[in-house]
Every structure is written in structure tokens, then in C-alpha cells.
Amino acid sequence: MPIPRREFLKTTALGTASLALTPSFNHLLAAPATAGTTERPHRFVFVRKSNGNLPKQFRLPSFSAAEQKMDEEKQAFEVDLAKHELPEWLRALDGHRENMTILHGISMSVSGGGHYSYSGCMGAYKAGRDVLGNVKRATVDFELAKLFPSPFGHVEVSLATPHGREHRTGIVSGYSAPAPKQRNYCYADPMTAHDELFKSVTNVDEVASDNALLDYLHEQESHRLRGLDGAERLKISGQVAALESIRDRNAKVAALGETIRRHLPEIDPVHRNGGRDALMPEKQAAFTDVIVGALAAGLTNVVTYTIDDLGTPITTLPENKTKTSIHAVGHGGDEQALAMRDAIRTHHVKQIHTMVTRLKAVPEGDGSMFDNTTIVYMPETGAGHHSPDTEAPMVVMSGRNSRLDLAGRYVRLPFHGTEGHFTLSNWYTTLLNAYGNPVEHYGDLDLTMQRNRLEQTGPIRRFLTRDARG
């Protein structure tokens, strides 16, 4: 069920939902970040999709016979993208191939395949069903957001309709996790995301009303502190501190007023009332506008975008003549199903192209904002509808200031269960190590790698630039 914003604010702040102390509550309402500031932060956008990524659809059509044989046999190798032709569905990014990596060989067995991975694909653990007890750790997007603080911290937007049960609008439960056993909240439609993220310049009256409500709640909670001690006092003190931090962060958002106005996206009125009348390409494009605007305005440095799940309706895609579903596409193995897979990804890639192009147009330092940006387009379950999770092809777009040395290449790593293989946990450890978190290993260990007594901890050091290796 969507949560009316002011009711959400009142119930959480008063403690009836026990969320005033949680990062999921804090980031959504613009609470402070937890680390220091940096002049030019690095930005991350994770675009997660359903139904897996079939490896053969990532194969370069210009491979030599020897390269195609190595790819089919899943042997480790790499080629220069500048010397090859991209698959048709990726060609919107042809002009940015110097920033592109087609990455093969990362396994997702640590998070598991099946229909859904829920929080698991972002946290490198098996989440099972979507229940709080299965949330094992803060997901990697939240960990990266700690390294590059911003007014809203981590932002999650989603076109997911879990199990196809309902049309989701407003503020709803998300898939990323701020901490163990905590559920994130996300924006389920573009207009809600726009109105909440940019309201400091679009709805000054509501901001003033919210601030008045925060003042009132702060006074009430402060009053409750009197005469309390022990655990109850600690709990209420935390809620008072959370209210103070939200007020402080709201003031800092207000100080960004001119920058926010400069990058304020325009959202078509079709997205009002939850966007029930909007076509899927329109929804995707509107969310992209919001994401780019929020990044450019400095409201956030880390975004996770669930661009679809198995329940997301795709009947309004122009290529979908038979009005099939994502779930049916996943089960289909014929040419029609493969063509729909390509069509779905083509629409996804259009959004990534828009992000890259627009961020390249925003000056920053002696270059552009995209110079300090990484976009990861990834499946949530692996290489197919019901996995296999032994590989998970993905596309990475990285700017010239990236601390990852992998741009411009098609890279196939050693296959799962063999010497030199890298898991999703290794990939996330690499991202964290590259950008300031020297964690020895992030995520779960792979059971097959353990049984084969193969090394599997730490980052993928060949992907780290010399500066990032320390």
C-alpha cells in the first residue's frame, strides 16, 4: 500500500512505526549523511532488470570464429570494443563505447536465481522471500552512498510491481536495504519522485508546512524526554535527534535552491494520479529525467532504479504486438520471445543513453559530470528467467575519472567454479575498495568455490586503477 507522505512523517517520527532511527526513514526525508564531504563526488546509478540476461544476446556480432568459440565455451578473454560491432539492442550507446564495458563471468550464485532476488542482488546474499528477517546487510548502494554524502543520501525509484498484484504509486517498500533487517522505501512513480525530491523549489508552502510539523513533533518528543531514563529515554532521544537532523538537512536542501531550479526536470501531466495512463516508455523516460535532475542538482549521488520486474506491465511497449508479459517472455525460448527480450533491453538502453548524454552536457571541473559517474546495468537473477546464476552479463558505463580500469572492453572472466573466477561479492568489494571503503570482502561466499577450495575473497584487482590499488 502506498503511504501518504504526511502520515508517514507523523507515524515514523512519533515512533509508532519504530522508523525514526533508521536510515531508510532518514534518507527518504532528507536526513544527514554519515560521512565527510567531497568537492567532486563520484556518482553511481544501478539499473536492475528482471528475467536475467541471456549471454548469447551480449555476444558481439563481429567476433572472429576463434573469439566466438571462446565465448560459447565461456573461456576467459577480452577484446577492444572500438574494433567491434555492438549488438543491435546496445547501439544507442555506440557513440559512448569508450565508456562501455560488456562484462561477462561475474556469478550471482551468492544471491541466487529464480524469479526474484529482492534485496539479495544488491547485497550479495540470498534473500529468499521479501521479509525483513532475510535482509542480511546494508546493500552496496547504501554503502557507496556513505562514501559520497548528499542531502538525500541514497535514492531508490522503481517500476516494479511485485508478483503483478497491484499498480504501485507514491512511496512504497523498496528492494535496497540501509541496514540488516531494515527495508528501504522507494518512489513508485515519476511524479511522486519529482514532487518529493524537488519540492524545495516547486512547493514552498508544503515545505513550510512540513517544517512546522517537524517543529511540533520535535517539541512533543522533547517534552516526553522529561522524567524518562534508561532504554525509553534512549529511544526518545534518538527520535529527537532524528527530527533535528531532518530539519537541518531540509535547510541544506533549501540552500541548493538555485542549483535545483537549474536542473529541475519537467514531468508531463500524464504522470499525475500515479501515472496510470502513462505508457511504459513514458514512465521510463520520466524516471530518467528525475534521476538526471537529482544527480545534477546534487540532491543525491547514488540511485538504484528497478526498471522492471516480472510483474511490470509491458503491454504498452510498441514492439509488444501480442501483449505478452515479462514473465511469459522469460519462459519463451522461440524467436518471438528473444525479439521481445531485445526490445525490452533496447528501451532500457535508451534510458542509459539519456543519462550518459545529459550528464556529459553538465560541466564539472575541467570536464563533465559523467566523468565522475558509473552506471551499472545488471540482471537481478543471473543469465535467465530461472537463472542459471553462474553468470550474469552486465553493461558498465564509466566516466574518465573512474577508479575502475575496464572501459572500452568486452571482458569475459573465468567461469564459475574455476580458478580465477569472481563472484558478485568480489565485484561489489571492487567498487567499495575503488572508492574509499577498504573492506576486505563484502558479501557472502560462494559454496561451489568453497567446495573446490578456490580463492574467492577480496576485490578484482585487475579492475582497479593504480591510484585505487593504494
pLDDT over threshold 70, residue 292: yes
> Which amino acid does the sequence have at 425?
S
H or E segment at 263? Answer: none
In the predicted model, what is the mean pLDDT of residues 164-189? 89
- What's the confidence (pLDDT) of residue 6? 53
H or E segment at 207? Answer: helix 204-225
- DSSP symbol at 411: E
| Residues 282-309 as b or e (16 or more Cβ within 10 Å = b) | bbbbbbbbbbbbbbbbbbbbbbbbbbbb
Determine phi and psi for 197, rounding to 5 degrees.
-70, -35
d(C-alpha 418, C-alpha 410), whole Å:
20
Answer yes or no: pTM beyond 0.75: yes
> Which amino acid does the sequence have at 177?
A
The string of pLDDT tens digits covering residues 234-289 is: 554 555 565 556 666 666 677 677 888 899 999 999 999 889 899 999 999 999 99
Helix, strand or coil, per DSSP, at residue 12: helix
Query: 373: which 3 cell numbers?
Result: 559517474
d(C-alpha 467, C-alpha 401), whole Å:
11
Residue 137: pLDDT band (50, 70, 90) is: very high
Cis peptide bond upstream of 363, omega within 30:
no
Lowest mean pLDDT among 17-26, 415-424, 432-441: 17-26
pLDDT over threshold 60, residue 11: no
Decide if 339 contacts 318 (C-beta within 8 A): no
H or E segment at 375? Answer: strand 373-379
Strands, E, within 194-300: which ranges?
none
Determine phi and psi for 385, rounding to 5 degrees.
-60, -50
Helix, strand or coil, per DSSP, at residue 21: coil
From the list 402, 310, 321, 464, the residue with the least C-alpha distance to 40 is 402
pLDDT over threshold 60, residue 219: no
The string of pLDDT tens digits covering residues 78-104 is: 999 999 999 999 999 999 999 999 999
d(C-alpha 285, C-alpha 34), whole Å:
31
The string of pLDDT tens digits covering residues 226-242 is: 665 555 555 545 555 65
Mean pLDDT of the chain: 85
- What's the confidence (pLDDT) of residue 340? 93
- What's the confidence (pLDDT) of residue 248? 67
pLDDT over threshold 60, residue 18: no
Domains belonging to the chain, first-starting first, are 32-198+265-469 (3.40.720)
